[in-house]
Amino acid sequence: MGSFVLERKLPGTNEVFGPDGAPRPVYDAVFEELEKTGPERWVERLRRAHGLLLDEQYAFGIREGDKTHPTDWFPRVVPAADWERLERGAAQRMRAVNEFLRRLEAGKEEVVPEEIIETSILYDPTLPNRFGEVPVRQVAFDVVAVESGRSGQTGGWEYLVLEQNAKMPVGLAAMSRRRRMSREVFFPGSMDRLPVRSLDGWLARLRDSLRAASPKGPDATLAVVSSGPEDQFYLDHHIYAQEMGAILAETRDLTFDRDGYLVHKPTGRRIDVVYERVDEDTLYAELPELIDCHVEGRVHVLFAPNSEVVDDKGVEAFVPEMIRTYLGEEPVIQNARTWSLAVPEERRYVMEHFGELVVKSRGGYGGKEVMIGPEESAESIERFRRMVERNPVEYIAQETIDFSTHVLCQADVENGGFALRDSYADYRVLALAPDQEDPGVVEIVPGALARVAAPGSHLTNISSGGKMKDTWVLEH
């Protein structure tokens, strides 16, 4: 195998290269295939993959420009033992979150302080709570790895949850497409050599999970409600609808019949389950009858009004205590250390250490309203501080973590090699609750939408300059 060197080393531990600078053995097959491919053929494969992804967009009638979601095609490989811990931890957290919502609906919630819920922009006490036996059926956990202190070249990581997303758990469609490109275009030999767990059939499992929210079960009519072509994930919405046998609709395509049921205007079909891929404010502003329709049981809106309070980062800070209190277990994976500015003593600490911390809007997403203190100028920190001081209860702070890094791979045709750039990386781990009869059943998709940050940044969000990666989870 030729010489591969990690460029511009960052403080976090790199997952691809060991402390001695040599590639970790779990990546041997990937490096061997990359070397055989060479930089010129790699560039050809990049063009081919881009063309295939564009063809897919065109097939769905999406012809705006020639952009596809930014992707780095060097895969992230996860040993079975490390994934097993992630899998158990994500399933445990989803069970705890659902128990929290069940108790909130019943008026028996006792873990999250009332002041946190009352100050959440994701919770409206004037709305009725009707979450159902399985309140959220899909959750995406954004997780980072930190070195655990264990030795060895094949793993040894502890995991920290940065945030969770029940409202917009983007990932499964994008994961499936990148896996297809890995196998067909970039690393067919490596995928044959390594025992990589398959993603086949998981969109069908998502379909079954969503339809199980209705008493009709597999016979339920499912609608994927999208904001339309301007949404950056509109292609994903098409794929969800096609693969799950669902109606793809915008809010303008929906109405209510004389009996108060939700109806798809173009086909006249009644809709039993709504999988919304549209902002909640828009959904209920344009379809105000939908709340009563859901509460009265004529349709099930998967992200029911107020259920997205679990995405509030102030609420999420209490998930480990939910696990202890409601499940009687110790958390398998922990949160990053978090301070709530809605709590006076924690607010004082944050304001005294403002430039040392990551400060986030409690209801923000996609890297919006986030300040990473050590990466910001004094002027930017002061500007963000003034914004926080105007309404501190809307923010939380987390410790700055030098979590694990991966690589950004670029062909260096001129020198006949590859440039591998160190870059912070996270996992988006997807959990599904597929069984209406047993709400304790949780399945974890055996892969992740890995995301790598722009060089030097901790922000992995695609909207903040990050790139997606295919994640290969090994069977053994």
254 close to 247: Cβ distance less than 8 angstroms: no
Task: Report how far residue 339's alpha carbon sits from residue 347's, in angstroms, rounded to the nearest whole number.
Answer: 7
Q: Name which of 335, 371, 339 is nearest 355 in CA terms.
A: 371
Delimit the CATH 3.40.50.11290 region(s) of the chain: 214-301
Three state DSSP letters for 168-190: CCCCHHHHHHHHHHHHHHHCHHH
> Given a cut of 60, is residue 188 above it in pLDDT?
yes
Q: Name which of 112, 99, 62, 361 is nearest 228 in CA terms.
A: 62
AA identity, residue 58:
Y
121 close to 362: Cβ distance less than 8 angstroms: yes
The fold of the 214-301 domain, in CATH, is Rossmann fold (3.40.50)
Please report how the helices 234-244 and 172-181 are oriented relative to each other, as an axis angle in degrees rounded to 10: 90
Task: Report how far residue 186's alpha carbon sits from residue 239's, in angstroms, rounded to the nearest whole number.
Answer: 22
Q: Name which of 333, 403, 334, 398 is nearest 147 in CA terms.
A: 403
pLDDT of residue 150: 41
Query: Taking the C-alpha atoms of 63, 69, 74 and 76 in order, what is their torsion angle to the nearest 10 degrees?
Result: -130
What value does the mean pLDDT take over residues 430-459?
87
DSSP code of residue 19: T
pLDDT of residue 436: 61
> Given a cut of 60, is residue 173 above it in pLDDT?
yes
In terms of Cβ atoms closer than 10 Å to its own Cβ (0-12, 13-18, 19+), residue 405 is buried
Class for domain 337-398, per CATH?
A: alpha beta
pLDDT of residue 59: 81
What value does the mean pLDDT take over residues 395-422?
94
Task: Report how far residue 254's alpha carbon sits from residue 295's, in angstroms, rounded to the nearest whole number.
Answer: 18
pLDDT tens digits, one per residue of 61-116? 777 678 888 999 999 999 999 999 999 999 999 999 999 999 999 999 999 988 89
> Given a cut of 90, is residue 169 above it in pLDDT?
no
Q: Of all helices (H) and strands (E), which one includes residue 224?
A: strand 222-226
Band the pLDDT of 149: cuts 50, 70, 90.
Answer: low
Helices (H), 151-245: 172-181, 188-193, 202-211, 234-244
> Given a cut of 50, is residue 154 above it in pLDDT?
no
What value does the mean pLDDT take over residues 194-217?
93
Q: What angle do CA 283, 284, 285 make, to 5 degrees?
A: 95
pLDDT tens digits, one per residue of 10-25? 998 999 999 899 999 9
Query: Taking the C-alpha atoms of 48, 50, 53 and 57 in order, what is their torsion angle to the nearest 10 degrees?
Result: -130
pLDDT of residue 2: 56
406 close to 423: Cβ distance less than 8 angstroms: yes
Task: Report how far residue 307's alpha carbon sits from residue 122's, in angstroms, rounded to the nearest whole number.
Answer: 8
> Given a cut of 50, is residue 372 above it in pLDDT?
yes
Percentage of the residues of the chain whose pLDDT score is greater than 90:
73
Collapse the DSSP code of 254 into the 3-class scheme (helix H, G, I; strand E, B; otherwise coil) and give the result: strand
Which positions ≥6 away from 256 have C-beta within 8 Å?
Answer: 262, 263, 289, 293
Instruction: List beta partners, residue 145.
Output: 159
Delimit the CATH 3.30.1490.270 region(s) of the chain: 337-398
Which positions ≥6 away from 444 have C-beta within 8 Å?
Answer: 86, 87, 90, 91, 429, 430, 431, 432
Query: What's the distance, CA 272 to chain centroid?
Result: 26
What value does the mean pLDDT take over residues 426-441?
83
What value does the mean pLDDT take over residues 185-206?
95
Task: Report how far residue 90's alpha carbon sits from residue 302's, in angstroms, rounded to the nearest whole number.
Answer: 20
Query: What's the distance, CA 40 to chain centroid?
Result: 33
